[in-house]
Amino acid sequence: MSIRSIAANFWSTLGCVTALSALAIAAAVYLFGLRWSGSIGLYFVVWWTVLFVVLPVGARSQAEIGEVVSGTEPGAPAVPALRERALWTTFASVIVFLMAAGLMPLSGL
């Protein structure tokens, strides 16, 4: 199953993002001894930070493609593919979050 096939449907995208996020949070709680509230807060911050890293990757503007829609900004993405980016953000955030959660006990936090 590919990223595009999961991202083709809103509900499958939402289910995948929710399931992976819940698994990562549960792993941080049970493996690294973080509290639920702290894990959810940390994951939220990591997910949004990674989203802003993932958004511009591979994005092509309307001006680059040469098809600027009247009344829109030429620098706007031609094909935003937000569901795919949400999945890539989730995959990357799980990795970053688990690394950060693993370092928390080592630092005494």
Span 10-15, average pLDDT: 94
> Is pLDDT above 80 for 39?
yes
Domain boundaries, the chain: 3-107
pTM of the complete model: 0.86
75-98 pLDDT tens trace: 888 888 899 999 999 999 999 999
Token digits of residue 49:
């930070």
Paired residues of 12 in beta bridges: none
Q: Do 29 and 36 touch, CB atoms closer than 8 A?
A: yes
Measured over the CA atoms of residue 66, residue 71, residue 74 and residue 77, the dihedral's sign is negative
The CA distance from 40 to 85, in Å, is 21
pLDDT digits (tens, 9 = 90+) for 41-73: 999 999 999 999 999 988 888 888 888 888 888
Q: Under 8 Å CB-to-CB from 99, ≥6 apart: which residues?
A: none
